[in-house]
Amino acid sequence: MDLAAQRIVVTGGDGFLGRHLQRALLGAGAQKENLLIPLIDDYDLTGEGDVVRMYDQMAPDVVIHLAAHVGGIGANRENPGRFFYANMAMGLHLIEHARRRNVKKFVQIGTICAYPKFTPIPFREEDLWAGYPEETNAPYGIAKKALLVMLHAYRAQYGLDGIYLLPVNLYGPGDNFDPAASHVVPALVRKFSHAVDTGDDEVEVWGTGTASREFLYVEDAARGIALATQNYDAPDPVNLGAGFEITIKGLAAKIAQLTGFTGRIKWDTSKPDGQPRRCLDTRRARELFGFVAETPFEQGLKRTIEWWRAQRH
């Protein structure tokens, strides 16, 4: 697909991943005047009326749906109903009206939370339906996974070109550092940076530290989405990842070192670990549209920490 010729709507385009995706799309040939961002203050995409108005006003050829109600383990535990409804409603209305208007391509960003709790390592796309997701984020994960089924159905019945991408945990400059809603990397960067600033000699971290995660630098993720938008057209879901895993204990130690924290890490084992392990098989993305993550993890963490330290005051 020649992006220069397309009007492209990016929902969530003013968010963490969205801002990086805008730059990636422009670098791939999209025209700035044809890159359209529906802001949350102007459009409530959980409501069908606002979705219709957005399509009327923006008339996209391509829709990349990033917008989501999302957060870490705590936010998922506190808002299971909201997370299910909001993510299901947004995708439902956006996909339905995309097919009514003969949109050329619909790109749905899924979630690793959709994988079963005990998925074998590395996560292969074929294992997506092999069990129930981890309980704390199952409502969010299942709502997102239902949209994969919807895209399959709409491709079969209406010929809608819909693709589905599964980025692993993202991190990088511009991430959400709100302690009530942040994911693990920004949460730990904030905690350890604060301890260094205040001279605290102890930082408390949720869980046992034994769970593992894989992390993808946000600029790499944005490049992967742009590549798939240009070059991928098939119903099969595709993982976007870096192909490695690190325990939360190892992650905490690395962030402590990079922030200069030398005190004690206290593990609150009364809090949940979430999914036991996460590490993706990334071969499909490499083979189908040439995506390979490029940013070394420690380099990405250093950039994230530097960004937060420049912004936090």
Nearest-10 crossing angle of helices 248-259, 184-198:
40
Residue numbers annotated as active site: 140
Question: Angle formed by the axes of helices 248-259 and 297-311, to 10°?
Answer: 50
**Is residue 33 very low, low, confident or very high in pLDDT (cuts 50, 70, 90)?**
very high
Nearest to 79 by CA among 125, 137, 8: 137
Phi and psi torsions of 48, nearest 5°: -60, -35
- On the 0-12 / 13-18 / 19+ scale of CB atoms within 10 A, 296 is exposed
Q: What is the pLDDT of residues 98-150, one digit of tens each?
A: 999 999 999 999 999 999 999 999 999 999 999 999 998 899 999 999 999 99
pLDDT digits (tens, 9 = 90+) for 35-89: 999 999 999 999 999 999 999 999 999 999 999 987 777 777 888 999 999 999 9
**Diameter of the chain measured on Cα atoms:** 61
How far apart are the two ends of the chain, measured CA to CA in Å?
Answer: 43
What structural domains does the chain harbor? 3-172+215-242+279-294 (3.40.50.720)
